[in-house]
Structure 1
């Protein structure tokens, strides 16, 4: 296999760390970003010629642009951009502070969007490449206690899904990665729990609070196997990793589809008469895509 060059945000821990180590071990080059000082020094020491470390806070738009531009200037070509940095903010929607809400969205959603936007001109000029956007089972299914986290993951999935159609003419592929629970530090090291409002103690929100405070559970997924599974060619638009993710996503989609199907007649009843009318809604866009 020809060696490739990757840009991976959040390369210092969890999924990003496993992926970086696997790629470097097989001879690829990695630009790995980090926030915590000293968290990737061992990678730099072990692979001094193949690993390039870069500090990056994805809530800083100027730093995103600088890191991306500097990476391309130094390496000439980057084949795969992995938007991986993120964390979970958990609790009832009413429990979050405004500052927590803004930071969660800035990290998981707008940070990912800015990273990809910064990379797109380079990917276009080099004639193609691949974008891997890390989402979650929580990008397709949702549970009480994760409302804001789900908002960021559902949001980035919508962005990436539409983006895929925009950049396909340039030879740029987009894959949304949807892992389930994994045995990384995300659950107990990469999640923030909002301050408790007692009124929610007897509600479903208490479940996520109990998990994060008692620390007695762990994910079913093997992060090394998950990392190994992302490098597929051709790759699906959405890549589900973990049996728990598969089951939860299948259940969520089946339920939503069943709900939609009960509304066919009532939905059609709201259409305007078609005589002399040119429509331009989502169905027409889908038809145009099929005709292309």
Structure 2
């Protein structure tokens, strides 16, 4: 199993950090413990994280502002990836911002709040059809705008989020795609076709909901008896086993577990040291 994978113009460690949990409840407003959030970011870099995933609409603006305060000026090897395609209103609702002009404005806002001239990659967050107010903006217009921003030097690579295999294939006819960010976990492998297509093309695959959906009524990786049994046998937490399974699933998988706790961060980072055995993987297959 490899320890690193290419991401646009960088090579990053396969365990990074996702900043979505740094703002307050519902990904809105300031964190309950601002100093604690800053400590988490600084500790992540101390532990070797060189891939941070964020978005201007986390907070909104909160995650980016915290990253800037904690880490700017950034280490040369640090890859910062953001996403565009959505915004938040004052009540916390997720609003579509899918038109090319929206994407450009939000890339510019990410650059401003993070204090950088270029982002390593920006993911186009495609909106689900059922989202109220979402418009049917052609994928080629959206990807074309991000490709133009790349050619202008404002981003190093174009990524996609919440897309189908057909979307990925269509986007690749327009420009190079460097990463895909979709839901995937041991208990939700519906996206296997996108993962496999990404692996074959050498595209980084960044799973969100890596331990199962955040919605309470859907299955969680850590609740599965097979996961708990492997965790007990290996002296690890169930969460660590679930994340290790993802690293073992394909070499192009990059993890971005998020937390607002230094202790939880250190536990997440230790996943890279847990090498699952064929026996472990066979047992975990029963939880799929």
TM-score category, normalised to shorter length: 0.3 to 0.5
TM-score, normalising length from structure 1?
0.38
**Structure with more of its chain in helix, by fraction:** 1
Output the TM-score relative to the length of structure 2. 0.38
Q: Which of the pair has more CA radius of gyration?
A: 1
